[in-house]
Amino acid sequence: MTTSRSPATSSSNSWLALGRLIKIVWVAWRFGLDRLILDAAGPLGRKHWSMRGLRVLSLLRIGGVKGASRGEGLRLALESLGPIFVKFGQVLSTRRDLLPTDIADELAHLQDRVPPFPSRIAVAEIERGLGKTIAQVYQEFDETPIASASIAQVHFAVLHDGREVAVKVLRPGMAPTIDRDIELLRTIGALVAKVSADGRRLRPLEVVDEFDKHLHDELDLIREAANANQLRRNHAKSSLLAVPEMYWDYCATNVITMQRMHGLRIADIPGLLQAGIDLKKLSRDGVEIFFTQVFQHGFFHADMHPGNILVGYQGELFNRYIALDFGIVGALSDFDKNYLAQNFLAFFNRDYRRVAQLHIDSGWVPRTTRVEELEGAVRACCEPFFDRPLKEISLGLVLMRLFQASRRFDVEIQPQLVLLQKTLLNIEGLGRELDPDLDLWVTAKPLLQRWMNQQIGPRALLDQIKQESVQWAQLLPQLPRLAHHALSRIAQGPTDNPASAHASDTALTSLLQKQQEQLSAMQRWIRVLVIIIGLLLGAELLRWLR
């Protein structure tokens, strides 16, 4: 939703964005991020005049952080710049195939070890939100946070009835910081869209708006608790994923109280192995959970970095995922789900013609695009990566090659799928950590085929018939009454007005004809339905006898 802004407001926001940009440059300079640029440039790149100038400026650095490694410098810089940049680092930390090990290890600290804010402030925020003192709400409250992230931090506590809980409290003063960063991103996005054709195709302003929406959603913890409840209902019968229960009597917009979940961090590989966790099964389960949420539920956890996932190590939660932090979720329409499923299946079957045709039919590329040319480009991008284990495949590199190939076809990135792409990258990173030999394609293909069969196969037909049966149930009982009413009107004979009687007879006759046509059509459908059900039952019986 767009809102109008006064010139004074726009000017003020522009100055704020400029000030923020200056701060970003200063922080990057202070923490030595220029070294990352020089390292990436390589020996030949450093001979360029701009790189030589950067090296001279590096020697003149004043007030910088001494002794910090390049990975630590990047982490500290992101922490200094606030929640948006911390989240950017969280996403990067899952891509160890694209980052040097030392940088990936440092960025992993951003997942749940961001410096906490003072406990006295946390206590004050909880009491303000719940309208009660800590002692009135909790029998015990640990003022030392167990985890601290970019938006909130978590404390353990015990309710007066003895239930162990985790209390999540929002960092105070987050909204103004996020608003300033969003304004900066909009400024950068507008500039990119103005000077670059590739930038316009990426729809940067729409992507920023989508990011803005989800970040502000995270500032309402009641919304997060509601997201958790939805995921908990969706996975109520699941043996793969557990979601904590929310205790609504102790929730507010800035604090939520939930069931405490006992588990090991998914990044603690030695601890998982010591507890007897089957890492290969865990990696396959993660893929199944993702595709189930996306295609069956159309509602998925969109912040699946390692800091938000535990693994149960005892009781009924043994070897199961435990999801935490539900501030960012994604939702897909039936059209999106169907389109994505067909694309995935076409990729898995190496049907590049189908992939190209789907892109054209969906409007992602102009209808004037030659399907043969797009098919060839997709084949060149994807064919080298098939029949390899996940450890030899980088989905990030595949996406990069697809992006490069798509330039000549004016492919438009769909903002509503940005979260899905981010989550898929997180799943790949997790799978790579747990089982480097996991084949993402082999694991996902049967799940997608099963979902497609549910959408277009015999089961889909039966489900649709069940939905239509509600209307049939309302119409069938009315037919005898309507027919009796019409026949009674005819039996009354002509009225004093012959023209009126003739018109009435004509209308009743027409009504009876329509009712008879509907009844005949319904009878035909019932006969077809009986035949279909008979064939299905016969097929099931034959399969059982075999």
Hey, which residues are catalytic here? 303
* Helix-helix angle 334-348:352-362, to 10 degrees: 160
- Residue located via tokens 């590096």: 58
* Number of alpha carbons in the 13 Å side-chain half-sphere of residue 476: 11
Residues 6+ apart with CB under 8 A from 291: 444, 447, 448, 451
To which H or E segment does residue 270 belong?
helix 269-274
Class of residue 310 by CB neighbours under 10 A (exposed 0-12, middle 13-18, buried 19+)? buried
Nearest to 294 by CA among 412, 423, 142, 402: 423
**How many residues in the chain?**
546
Secondary structure letter of residue 365 according to DSSP: S
Residues with Cβ within 8 Å of 527's Cβ and at least 6 positions away in sequence, in order, are none
Long-range contacts of the stretch 269-272 (C-beta < 8 A, 24+): 269/433, 269/434, 272/311, 272/313
- Compute the radius of gyration of the chain from its Cα atoms: 30
Contact 301, 326 (CB under 8 A): yes
Residues 70 and 354: their CA atoms lie apart, in Å, by: 45
Rounded to an integer, what distance in angstroms lies between the CA atom of residue 385 and that of residue 396? 12
Reduce the DSSP state of residue 486 to 3 states and report it: helix
Tokens of 196: 């670059």
Taking the CB of residue 422, how many other CB atoms lie within 10 A of it? 19
Among residues 220, 246, 217, 223, which one has the least CA distance to residue 233?
Answer: 246
Half-sphere exposure in the Cβ direction for 493 (13 Å, CA): 1
By the 10 Å C-beta count (0-12 exposed, 13-18 middle, 19+ buried), 210 is classed as middle
Q: What is the token pair recorded at 15?
A: 């100055």
Q: How far, in Å, CA of 227 to CA of 391, rounded?
A: 33
C-alpha span between 536 and 328 (Å, rounded): 42
Q: Alpha carbon of 343 to those of 111, 346, 460, 484: distances in Å? A: 32, 5, 20, 54
Measure the CA–CA gap between 483 and 467, rounded to whole angstroms.
26
Rounded Cα distance, 475 and 518, in Å: 10
d(CA 248, CA 286): 29
Residue type, 442: V
